Amino acid sequence: QTHFLSHSLQAKMSRPVQARRLEGIDKNIWVEFVKLAATYSKVNLGQGFPDFPPPDFLTEAFARALSGGNHMLHQYTRAFGHPPLVKVLAQFFEKLLGRDVDPMTNVMVTVGAYQALFCCFQALVDEGDEVIIIEPFFDCYEPMVKMAGGTPVFVPLRPNPPKDGKWMSSADWQLDPAELASKFNKRTKAIVLNSPNNPLGKVFSRGELGLIAELCVKHDVLCISDEVYEWLVYDGKQHIRIASLEGMWDRTVIIGSAGKTFSATGWKVGWVVGSDRLMQHVRTVHQNSVYHCATIAQEAVAQGFQRELMLYGKPESYFVQLPKELQQKRDWLVQSLDGVGMKPIIPEGTYFLVADISQFKSDVPDVSNSDEPYDHRFAKWMVKNKGLAAIPLSAFYSEGHKNNYTNFIRFCFAKEEATLKAANDILQKWKQEKASS
């Protein structure tokens, strides 16, 4: 009897437990590289988060929200966003976009930009739809499109090295207009735009955005615009919002992150801003999945934005100060990397910097029976042998295009001066070892 029972139980367990939508999306680069960094790194310039604290005005706002006497802040708030936060976000975006923004219908708060992206893909992409993704891209776009039943269509930014032998800039990575246009067809539902771009730090120019907008309008395509690094732009460059271009407000969802905006990535507060025509469906996904985000974090972020609204454009504004500090950090890292022979690609925005590692091929042991790309092997070798963690650039490409971009790694420079000095020490020592070998 017992034998018969266990046999029939076993037979039942042979059927797959996982949903078909999970096929092929189980691997995640961060799981592997975060673990490697935790095990081996002395200096971690891998994953994108600041190791310095958020501004005092923000942590003080959190402390006030926590124990300031309004105990209702410990309870649920409005599902689509805590009223003070959606109100101040609407005020801010009215300024940025030069149009009316309604806090209740045009803004929704999410658990970080990550959930904002998930809601948008679920709400706007259907079985059989194609979604254009510009490479290199923040890796979650691809599995999110697939989970929604869509097909990602990839189009790479193509590097054009400057002829004068100067350092490359992220602006030298450009879309080929004809190639981009060739990806639009009647199945195309949306394009994902990420400006400033992770991992390159590219800030798309008005001309480039105009080209994308023109194609979106012509083919009736939506734009999922990931703008989480909107305040991190350097050298006097300007971040232009594609939603402010003609014909684009009605077809764009803008995604943002308090984590990146206020250097508090662990708070996981994000948002979507867009026309109600799109937002009503984004709300449907939110109300049937997460429903509600932590009230206290939303209250503190609302207060942070109220301060920034008052100081908008003034030198005391965090949105003015943070990019200034980060530009200095970028320049330190540029010098350190250049010293050891890793050619930096100067980012116009974000807190990432991509560097060319093609001169280090002889340092890294070649594993003959492995098809692991060189940049992966290099990043692993570097963290194990030098104690410095970074992320291989090919992780930000689709399977079909990965092998074209294996000579680069990405560093995050949103780090304390001491962390960047420690990285510089490692690189200097490495340089001396190379010189004497």
The rounded distance, in Å, linking the Cα atoms of 364 and 371 is 15
Count, residues near ligand PMP per rule CB under 6 A: 14
Options 80, 93, 138, 204; binder of ligand PMP; rule CB under 6 A = 138
* Nearest to ligand PMP of 109, 427 (CB atom): 109
The rounded distance, in Å, linking the Cα atoms of 383 and 106 is 44
Question: Residue with CB nearest ligand PMP?
Answer: 112
Q: Which residues contact 273 (CB under 8 A, 6 or more apart)?
A: 89, 93, 101, 106, 107, 243, 253, 254, 256
CB of 408 to ligand PMP, least distance (A): 17
CB of 266 to ligand PMP, least distance (A): 9
- When computed from its CA atoms, the radius of gyration of the chain, rounded to whole angstroms, is 23
Build a one-symbol-per-residue string for 332-371: x at contacts with ligand PMP by CB under 6 A, - elsewhere.
----------------------------------------
Phi, psi of 380 (to 5 degrees): -65, -45
CB of 319 to ligand PMP, least distance (A): 16
User: Residue 242's closest CA among 251, 233, 232?
Assistant: 251
* Nearest to ligand PMP of 80, 360 (CB atom): 80
CB of 121 to ligand PMP, least distance (A): 12
Q: Which residues contact 170 (CB under 8 A, 6 or more apart)?
A: 197, 200, 201, 202, 203, 345, 346, 347, 348, 349, 354
Q: Is 203 in the site for ligand PMP (CB under 6 A)?
A: no
Options 106, 188, 194, 406; binder of ligand PMP; rule CB under 6 A = 194
The rounded distance, in Å, linking the Cα atoms of 85 and 324 is 26
The rounded distance, in Å, linking the Cα atoms of 258 and 275 is 21
Build a one-symbol-per-residue string for 38-57: x at contacts with ligand PMP by CB under 6 A, - elsewhere.
----------x---------
CB of 263 to ligand PMP, least distance (A): 11
CB of 117 to ligand PMP, least distance (A): 6
CB of 199 to ligand PMP, least distance (A): 8
* Nearest to ligand PMP of 77, 257 (CB atom): 257
Q: Which residues contact 376 (CB under 8 A, 6 or more apart)?
A: 392, 394, 395, 406
Task: Count Cβ atoms below 10 Å from residue 147 Cβ, excluding itself.
Answer: 16
Window of 107-115, 178-186, 397-405, 415-423 that interacts with ligand PMP by CB under 6 A? 107-115
Options 257, 275, 295, 306; binder of ligand PMP; rule CB under 6 A = 257
Window of 12-20, 243-251, 257-265, 369-377 that interacts with ligand PMP by CB under 6 A? 257-265
Q: Is 198 in the site for ligand PMP (CB under 6 A)?
A: yes
Task: Using CB atoms within 10 Å of the CB of residue 236, give its burial: 0 to 12 exposed, 13 to 18 middle, 19+ buried.
Answer: exposed
CB of 157 to ligand PMP, least distance (A): 14
Options 73, 113, 123, 389; binder of ligand PMP; rule CB under 6 A = 113
User: Residue 144's closest CA among 169, 120, 170?
Assistant: 120
* Nearest to ligand PMP of 188, 198 (CB atom): 198
CB 77 within 8 A of CB 292: yes
Give 365's DSSP letter.
P
Options 73, 90, 228, 253; binder of ligand PMP; rule CB under 6 A = 228
Build a one-symbol-per-residue string for 258-287: x at contacts with ligand PMP by CB under 6 A, - elsewhere.
-x-----x--x-x-----------------
* Nearest to ligand PMP of 194, 336 (CB atom): 194
User: Residue 25's closest CA among 398, 377, 288, 380?
Assistant: 398
Q: In what helix (H) or strand (E) does residue 254 lie, and over which residues does it extend?
A: strand 252-257
CA angle 277, 283, 284 (to 5 degrees): 100
CB of 114 to ligand PMP, least distance (A): 3
Classify the phi-psi angles of 201: left when phi > 0, otherwise alpha if psi is within -120 to 50, otherwise beta: left
Phi, psi of 120 (to 5 degrees): -65, -45
* Nearest to ligand PMP of 92, 430 (CB atom): 92
Q: Where on the chain is the footprint of ligand PMP (CB under 6 A)?
A: 48, 112-114, 138, 194, 198, 226, 228, 257, 259, 265, 268, 270
